[in-house]
């Protein structure tokens, strides 16, 4: 049975789900998914500690086992290319990520994959930007996607702090 916990962050309450072997979901929600429990889970505790350190500025990337669930080979290749090649403080365009992944997915398709990322923050979809600006972002509290993306990129030093 999966375990679930939440963490209050500067960009909203983040929920984390662990199978005990891997982190399977990260989302901006404060209610447990159906079937999750609050049983002790060392991996979930470690994930919360790493997320807390990230938001406190003491950690830049994550060292956690993840399970992306059922994905196409191309989707898995894109998400893993992002996870393995784009560090904190860096950004990559949708088109550049398509190239890094070795797939033939067009930039618009990369955007759709980012929106369906089951473990945002850990697989840092906020670091994927459009060639002419931030692009979109579906993370964060409802209606706060772009503000959340901007905050995360500023926090990592990939964008200068906003003047407004």
Q: Which of 77, 113, 122, 125 is catalytic?
A: 125
* 104 and 35 in a common domain: no
* 80 and 18 in a common domain: no
Whether 9 is covered by a domain: the verdict is: yes
- Specify the pLDDT at position 30: 66
Whether 105 is covered by a domain: the verdict is: yes
Query: Known catalytic residue: 30?
Result: no
- Specify the pLDDT at position 34: 65
What b/e readout covers 120-150, taking b as 16+ CB neighbours within 10 angstroms? bbbbbbbbbbeeeebbebbbbeeebbbebbb
Please write the tens of the pLDDT for every residue from 76-132: 999 999 999 999 999 999 999 999 999 999 988 999 999 999 999 999 999 999 988
* pTM to 2 decimal places: 0.91
What three-state secondary structure class fits 54?
A: helix
164 pLDDT more than 60: no
* 135 and 80 in a common domain: yes
Please write the tens of the pLDDT for every residue from 26-73: 999 766 666 666 677 999 999 999 999 999 999 999 999 999 999 999
**DSSP assignment letter at 121:** T
């Amino acid at each position: 049975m999966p375990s679930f916990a939440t963490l209050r962050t500067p960009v909203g309450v983040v929920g984390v789900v662990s199978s005990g072997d891997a982190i399977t979901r990260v989302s901006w929600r404060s209610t447990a998914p159906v079937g999750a429990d609050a049983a002790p889970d060392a991996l979930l505790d470690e994930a919360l500690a790493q997320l807390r350190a990230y938001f406190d500025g003491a950690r830049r990337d994550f060292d956690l086992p993840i399970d992306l669930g059922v994905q196409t080979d191309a989707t898995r290749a894109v998400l893993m290319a992002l996870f393995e090649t784009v560090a904190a403080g860096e950004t990559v365009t949708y088109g550049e990520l398509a190239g890094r992944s070795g797939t033939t997915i067009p930039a618009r398709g990369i955007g759709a994959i980012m929106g369906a990322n089951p473990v945002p923050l850990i697989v840092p979809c906020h670091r994927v930007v459009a060639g002419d600006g931030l692009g979109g972002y579906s993370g964060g509290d409802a209606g706060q996607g772009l503000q959340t993306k901007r905050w995360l990129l500023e926090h990592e030093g990939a964008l200068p702090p906003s003047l407004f």
